[in-house]
Amino acid sequence: MPAKPYELYYWPSIQGRGEFVRLLLEDAGAPYLDMARLPASKGGGVAAIMRFLGGGARVGLEPFGPPFLRHGQLVIAQTASILAWLAPRHGAVPRGETSRLRAHQLQLTITDLLAEVHDTHHPIAGSLYYEDQKPQAKLCAAHFRDERIPKYLDYFERVLEANGGRFLVGRQNSYVDLSAFQVVEGLRYAFPRALRRHTRKLTRLFALADRVAERPGIAAYLASERRLPFSEDGIFRQYPELDSPTGPKA
Amino acid sequence: MPAKPYELYYWPSIQGRGEFVRLLLEDAGAPYLDMARLPASKGGGVAAIMRFLGGGARVGLEPFGPPFLRHGQLVIAQTASILAWLAPRHGAVPRGETSRLRAHQLQLTITDLLAEVHDTHHPIAGSLYYEDQKPQAKLCAAHFRDERIPKYLDYFERVLEANGGRFLVGRQNSYVDLSAFQVVEGLRYAFPRALRRHTRKLTRLFALADRVAERPGIAAYLASERRLPFSEDGIFRQYPELDSPTGPKA
């Protein structure tokens, strides 16, 4: 346990990619400061993030963007790398190189999935509003729902099955299980109708998500004000027009 | 140096994400077999890849997709993770945790960039032909050229500058320098007119790419038949209609 709390830098009003780091820290009971959610009088707000970007700060390697984690002189950016660094310090990944590599590989696959989720509402440009790319988003989301959700979730279901059914890596809960929970929750929020079609097939993955939600640290976090709600500013957005059509499945 | 050559599994006809692994191995002079480029009679071809996917093979953790590297019982997928694992074995990253973390962070930023490059010609779906998403690709590519190329390349230029100008990490060539070379080459191939506009600003980054091309292992590789050409099946594609308009800059 570190003497000083970790400093997490992420946008203060969304779950986003920072949520995967928050879940690890909350589950582990590791002390951290969610810097941009502190009041500006305590050095918080978005300004806390911006000080590190664009070549301003001279602490470590400049991050390309949030989330990043500061611990003493170390500044680590990129969600999957932050998690890979934190996990062995908090028992959030089984011991040994093979387990760490497997967890990281799965987390990087989740990284790829998140980029595709973001593209469903921003297929043309992140700098445009959703409203300015709605027709393209509908096309993109249809392919994502019908092709990519099954491809990714079936993959995680197979990995779970090959590993005995309860954990994605090794014989204990790891940060990848927490991340899988977040992905299932996010997809359920953004594509509830599409996800319902998979309920019978993905029994292990959905059961894993249920178990994660009941872990003491996670349950307490989810019930707290620290857990921000999903919203239409985040990665997982509930735009009904991007979900599967209502009515009988085509 | 391993007794047995590494086995690299990647699509046999494109540079793609596998190229970043090839560059590390070639620069290091590490023996490897590019499995899918072996003749089918020697267990090669795309079938060599497919044996590991979809739950077929029971070796290690199933990869979500290529590239993946096999070494004995270890199978590692995800380009950035393969590179992070290989690099310390071949002096392709400076010693120490901080250097390894920095290199990995930069490589993961390149991973993000590659996903965006891919989206410029496939903004709607990877399963559709480019020809079926051309109008959307033109919109997406315009934003990528005008907003994202400067954002990413200015970032790498700043990182180079903050690190003394010659190397992205530490005081020696690392795999991230090789990856930066590949990104510059790829963007020059795909967006030659857009890249020319940046020549004066990105002097350090372009000089780095030139130095990498002259490294003995890289120069020999680039001159060999092992280096596949860029093509319109890869990530970096030369579609003139997606590049900046000809004529004076707007």
For B199-249, how does the pLDDT look when each residue is reduced to its tens digit (9 = 90+)?
Answer: 789 999 999 999 999 999 999 999 999 999 999 999 999 999 999 998 655
Q: Cβ contacts (< 8 Å) between B80 and chain A: which residues?
A: 108
Question: Angle at CA A84, nearest 5°, toward B68 and B7?
Answer: 15
Q: What is the mean pLDDT of residues A56-74?
A: 88
Q: Do B80 and B170 fall into the same domain? A: no
Q: Do A32 and A121 fall into the same domain? A: no
Query: Across chain A, what does the average pLDDT equal?
Result: 95
**Is residue B223 situated within a structural domain?**
no
Q: What is the mean pLDDT of residues A52-60?
A: 77
Which of A82, A98, A124, A139 to mutate to probe the B interface, most B CBs <10 Å? A124
| CA of A225 vs chain B CAs: smallest distance (Å) | 31
Percent of chain B with pLDDT over 70: 96
Cβ under 8 Å to A: B residues 130-159: 136, 139-140, 143-144, 147, 152, 155, 158-159
For A199-234, how does the pLDDT look when each residue is reduced to its tens digit (9 = 90+)?
Answer: 789 999 999 999 999 999 999 999 999 999 999 999
Nearest Cα residue to B101 out of A159, A150, A77: A77
Percent of chain A with pLDDT over 70: 96
Q: What is the mean pLDDT of residues A89-110?
A: 97
Q: Do B19 and B109 fall into the same domain? A: no
Q: Which comes out higher in pLDDT, residue B73 or A134?
A: A134
- What is the rounded CA–CA span in Å between residue A231 and residue A15? 8
**Is residue A165 situated within a structural domain?**
yes
Residue A70: phi, psi to the nearest 5? -115, 135
- 3-state SS, residue A226: coil
Q: What is the mean pLDDT of residues B109-113?
A: 98
pLDDT band at A5 (very low <50, low <70, confident <90, very high): very high
Q: Do B114 and B199 fall into the same domain? A: yes
Asked if B101 lies within 8 A of A81 by C-beta distance, the reply is yes
**Is residue B121 situated within a structural domain?**
yes
CATH number of the domain bearing residue B133 = 1.20.1050.10
Whether B174 and B86 have beta carbons less than 8 Å apart is answered as: no
Nearest to B55 among A76, A147, A158 (CB): A158
Query: Across chain B, what does the average pLDDT equal?
Result: 95
Say yes or no: ipTM exceeds 0.90: yes
Which pairing describes strands B32-34 and B68-71: parallel, antiparallel, or unpaired? unpaired
Nearest Cα residue to A187 out of A146, A237, A139: A237
Give the CA dihedral B86, B222, B18, B141, nearest 10 degrees: 130
pLDDT band at A36 (very low <50, low <70, confident <90, very high): very high
Asked if A140 lies within 8 A of B119 by C-beta distance, the reply is no
- What is the rounded CA–CA span in Å between residue A137 and residue A179? 25
Asked if A143 lies within 8 A of B159 by C-beta distance, the reply is no
pLDDT of residue A248: 56
Q: Do A109 and A81 fall into the same domain? A: no
- 3-state SS, residue A8: strand
- What is the rounded CA–CA span in Å between residue B2 and residue B71? 9
**Is residue A182 situated within a structural domain?**
yes
Q: Do B58 and B127 fall into the same domain? A: no
- 3-state SS, residue B93: coil
**Is residue A242 situated within a structural domain?**
no
pLDDT band at B132 (very low <50, low <70, confident <90, very high): very high
* pLDDT of B250 above 80: no
pLDDT of residue A198: 83
- What is the rounded CA–CA span in Å between residue B145 and residue B128? 22
- What is the rounded CA–CA span in Å between residue B88 and residue B28? 11
Q: Do B81 and B101 fall into the same domain? A: no
User: Which of these three, B26, B59, B89, is where a domain ends?
Assistant: B89
Q: Do A118 and A18 fall into the same domain? A: no
Quickly list H helices, chain B: 18-28, 46-50, 79-89, 97-121, 134-143, 149-162, 175-190, 192-196, 203-213, 216-222
Q: Do B105 and B211 fall into the same domain? A: yes
* pLDDT of B51 above 60: yes
Q: What is the mean pLDDT of residues A134-163?
A: 96
pLDDT of residue A2: 46
* DSSP conformational letter for A96: S
Asked if B139 lies within 8 A of A162 by C-beta distance, the reply is no
**Is residue B143 situated within a structural domain?**
yes
pLDDT band at B55 (very low <50, low <70, confident <90, very high): confident
pLDDT of residue A3: 65
* pLDDT of A239 above 50: yes
Q: Do B205 and B130 fall into the same domain? A: yes
User: Which of these three, A45, A68, A90, is where a domain ends?
Assistant: A90
Q: Do B44 and B148 fall into the same domain? A: no
CATH number of the domain bearing residue A63 = 3.40.30.10
| Residue A175, CB-side half-sphere exposure with 13 Å CA sphere | 36
**Is residue A193 situated within a structural domain?**
yes
B27-64: string of b/e by CB count within 10 Å (b at 16+)? Answer: bbebebbbbbbeeeeeebbeebbeebbeeeeeebbbbb
- What is the rounded CA–CA span in Å between residue B14 and residue B248? 34
Cα nearest neighbour of A152 on chain B: B64
Which residues partner with A76 through β-bridges? A69
Domain range for B42 is 6-89
**Is residue B60 situated within a structural domain?**
yes
* pLDDT of B134 above 60: yes
Whether B157 and B210 have beta carbons less than 8 Å apart is answered as: no
User: Which of these three, A90, A116, A148, is where a domain ends?
Assistant: A90
Report the number of distinct structural domains present in chain A. Answer: 2
Q: Chain A contact for B202, CB < 8 A?
A: no
- By CB atoms closer than 10 A (0-12, 13-18, 19+), residue A137 is buried
Range with the poorest average pLDDT among A43-57, B61-75, B232-246:
A43-57
Peptide bond connecting B94 to the previous residue in cis, omega within 30 degrees of 0? no
Q: Do B151 and B106 fall into the same domain? A: yes
Q: List, in order, residues 6 or more apart from A84 with CB less than 8 Å away.
A: A93, A100, A103, A104, A107
- By CB atoms closer than 10 A (0-12, 13-18, 19+), residue A75 is buried
Q: Chain B contact for A74, CB < 8 A?
A: yes
- What is the rounded CA–CA span in Å between residue A211 and residue A36? 30
